[in-house]
Amino acid sequence: MTKLPSIIKADGSKEVFDPVRLSTSLQRSGAGEHTATRITEAITNTVAQGVSSKDVYSRAFALLRKEGRPIAARYALRRALLELGPTGHPFEDFISHLYRAEGWQVETRKIMQGKCVMHEIDFYASHPEQKTHIAAELKYHNDPGYKTDLKVALYVKSRFDDIFSCDPSTRICPIDRGLLVTNTKFTSEAIAYAECAGVELLGWGYPTDNNLFMRMSRAKVYPITTLTELSRAEKNLLIEQGVIAVDEIVHNRRVLDMLRLSPERVGEILSEADGLLAL
């Protein structure tokens, strides 16, 4: 059996190229088994020792795009989240949009009183049916190799502890759960501490049974940067005007008027958007 080459991950570490993992990722994005197998074989037969994981992704994306833009767009979801920056506010708005789609009532950048000091909470949500309130600290990164680490988890836990410790006899303490959210990954130390200390985490691949990718896919909520028919400048303009998710242009195509596009291009963009939401 031919030895598989090592590739360089975004964080600089090395790992053996895994064809099964690539095929699974392609099928998870909506590619059929035959298509995923064909693309995986094409890449496996040509991948070189020491190539970057970004190069593997780019080749897979290019081949998948020939099969269909909506599938390629969904395959590129993690990269699309990285394009929401450079500031963290669009990511906060996107997570708010996701939670609203799941039935939550959401406020962003809310000021709350703790036992000792006031805190600005990135994200505050309540659910009428679940009768629960959550506060979340959101950490956005536009570097795919950056992981939210232990010191961030410690900082977030200390903030939540101060809020949880407020005196209910003198003021309301409307938080039942604290959450740390990131668009990338967590270090193993951050996960171990959070699990021990009772801080909930939500990231690209964590928790394994209900992570950010799974929740976006289930709710059909994807960042506007997912669409391959839009240029980078067009995506930026939409974000600046508060259009943060694909379903927003499907539900109200007039938001695309600001881009001054031809009817043909509008049709192409909406076709990709409809196809993505139909996966």
Q: CA 58 to CA 258: how far, in whole Å? A: 30
Mind listing the pLDDT tens digit for each residue in 96-133? 999 999 999 999 999 888 889 999 999 999 988 888 88
Average pLDDT score over residue span 200-205: 96
The sign one gets for the Cα dihedral 72, 248, 87, 164 is negative
Q: What is the pLDDT of residue 128?
A: 80
Residue pointed to by tokens 């703790």: 114
Q: What is the pLDDT of residue 197?
A: 94
Average pLDDT score over residue span 259-264: 96
With CA atoms as reference, report the closest residue to 203 among 192, 191, 218: 191
Q: CA 135 to CA 25: how far, in whole Å? A: 31
Mind listing the pLDDT tens digit for each residue in 164-178? 888 776 666 678 889
- Regarding the domain delimited by 89-219, which CATH topology (the fold level of the hierarchy) does it fall under? Trna Endonuclease; Chain: A, domain 1 (3.40.1350)
With CA atoms as reference, report the closest residue to 123 among 107, 139, 141, 112: 107
Mind listing the pLDDT tens digit for each residue in 31-47? 999 999 999 999 999 99
Residue pointed to by tokens 């499907």: 250
Domain boundaries, the chain: 6-67, 89-219, 223-278
Mind listing the pLDDT tens digit for each residue in 219-250? 999 999 999 999 999 999 999 999 999 999 99
For the chain, report the end-to-end CA distance as a whole number of angstroms: 36
